[in-house]
Amino acid sequence: MSERSEYVVEIQGLCFSRGQRRIFQDLDIKMRRGDVTAIMGPSGTGKTTLLRFITGQLVPDRGSVWVNGYQVDRTPRKGLYEMRREIGMLFQNGALLSDYNVFENVAFPLREHTNLPERLIHHVVLTKLHAVGLRGAWQMSPTELSGGMARRVALARAIVMDPEILIYDEPFAGLDPISMGVVVRLIRQMNDVLGISSIVVSHDVGEISAVADSSYLISEGKVAASGTPDELSKDGSALVRQFMHGMADGPVPFHYPAPDYGSQLLGRDDE
């Protein structure tokens, strides 16, 4: 299936709207095989929605999405499930199955998709847990884990089927600096050691700069800027500057649209 093209994900002319709201308009993104590609953007620009197109959970109104040789928007359900076996995904809070302990969570894809003997499953799971540094926690239940640990377990689960693409949805949100450093290192390590391609959705500019090979900044349904993180931070446009340097006011205004301040204070809000 996978004719090894240079790009692992190719999105062309993606248009999508939800009700009256236009979410994407003519979005073009190309992600190079073997790279860590970052998708950045202010909250509410549909970064997570974009991921849902890549994984085939949503179908675009117009445009095409190619992932690893599959045209996702034209692939039927069964093919999507086949494609997803080549993708590992890390959800924002890990999304570990609360019924099972750490070991069983990592073993879950193996048990569902393979008939490996128990001894081999044991072996594979412990290897993957060791890779994220949590071999010792195999018996713990997801509720006992800290946020960073849960994410690392989820990472072990995401790589247990040896995927070709790893997707991270907001991997840094809500982590303390130590866990953040650990996750940053793991993303880079997984990408290089396993020889896979990674997609990171985030708005933590600092961490992204440390890990990404190239990045896209999305705003108002379009690609506002793209390039290496360094290139982005030197970009001249007002929006990119505001985002990369975290300025409170700019093209994305501080004030939510409101009627005139003075007249509202004076109680003439019946207009």
Partner 1 sequence: MTQWFFELVYTLRGFLQTFGAMNLFFLRIVSYSPRAIIRRFPLVIRQVYNSGTLSLVLIMVCGFFVGMVLGLQGYDNLSKFNSEDSVGTVAALSLLQELGPVLAALLWSGRAGTALASEIGLMRATDQLSAMEMMAVDPLRRVVVPRFLGGVVSMPLLAAIFSGIGIFGAYVSGVIILGVDGGVFFSQMQANVEPVHIWQGIIKSCVFGVAASLMAVFEGYNSIPTAEGVGRATTRTVVLTAIAVLALDYMITAAVLALTD
What's the closest the beta carbon of residue 79 comes to partner 1, in angstroms? Answer: 11
SS (H, E, C) the chain: CCCCCCEEEEEEEEEEEECCEEEEEEEEEEEECCCEEEEECCCCCCHHHHHHHHCCCCCCCEEEEEECCEEHHHCCHHHHHHHHCCEEEECCCCCCCCCCCHHHHHHHHHHHHCCCCHHHHHHHHHHHHHHCCCHHHCCCCHHHCCHHHHHHHHHHHHHCCCCCEEEEECCCCCCCHHHHHHHHHHHHHHHHHHCCEEEEECCCHHHHHHHCCEEEEEECCEEEEEECHHHHHCCCCHHHHHHHHCCCCCCCCCCCCCCCHHHHHCCCCCC
Of the pair 41, 88, the CB lying nearest partner 1 is at 88
Of the pair 82, 176, the CB lying nearest partner 1 is at 82
| Residue 66 Cα distances to 31, 70, 227, angstroms | 10, 6, 20
Return residues touching partner 1 (CB under 8 A).
55, 57, 81-82, 84-85, 87, 89, 91-93, 95-98, 108-109, 112-113, 154, 157, 161
Of the pair 93, 127, the CB lying nearest partner 1 is at 93
Of the pair 170, 235, the CB lying nearest partner 1 is at 170
What's the closest the beta carbon of residue 81 comes to partner 1, in angstroms? Answer: 4
What's the closest the beta carbon of residue 97 comes to partner 1, in angstroms? Answer: 6
What's the closest the beta carbon of residue 267 comes to partner 1, in angstroms? Answer: 29
Of the pair 48, 264, the CB lying nearest partner 1 is at 48
208 is written with which tokens? 């992204």
Of the pair 26, 82, the CB lying nearest partner 1 is at 82
What's the closest the beta carbon of residue 86 comes to partner 1, in angstroms? Answer: 9
What's the closest the beta carbon of residue 104 comes to partner 1, in angstroms? Answer: 13
